[in-house]
Amino acid sequence: MDIYVGNLHYKVDEEVLREIFEEYGEVASVKIVTDSVTRRSKGFSFVTMNNDDEAKQAIEELNEGELMGRKIVVNQARPKTATAGAGEGGERRSFNKKPY
C-alpha cells in the first residue's frame, strides 16, 4: 500500500520516516518529494508498505501525530489524476484569442 505523509518539516529525511514506519512492519520504499530546482523538500512524502494490515495500522496510529513540532497527515495515497486542460481528455485554452 502506498501511504501519503504530509505537512512534514523540511528537515525530515527518508531515513527518519523509514525508522518510524518500520515500527509497524516492513517498509518497501520511502520517497520525500523535492523541488526539482532547489532540491528542497516540498513537505510531503510517499511510503510504501507491502502488508496492507501493517500499513493501515501505521496510518491509524500516525495520522495527526507530531513529528519535529508539526502535526503530520498520514493516509492512503490516492492515484494521480489528470488535470483539466492538459493531457488526455482535457481541452487546452488559449487566452490570446479574441471571442468573435
Q: Which of 12-16, 25-29, 45-49, 79-83 has the least mean pLDDT?
A: 79-83
Highest CATH level, class, for 2-76 = alpha beta
Phi, psi for 20 (deg, rounded to 5):
-65, -50
From the CA atom positions of the chain, what is the Rg in Å? 18
Q: What is the mean pLDDT of residues 13-29?
A: 98
Cα–Cα distance, 72 to 28 (Å, whole number): 21
Select the more confidently predicted residue: 28 or 90. 28
Per DSSP, what are the bridge partners of residue 71? Answer: 66
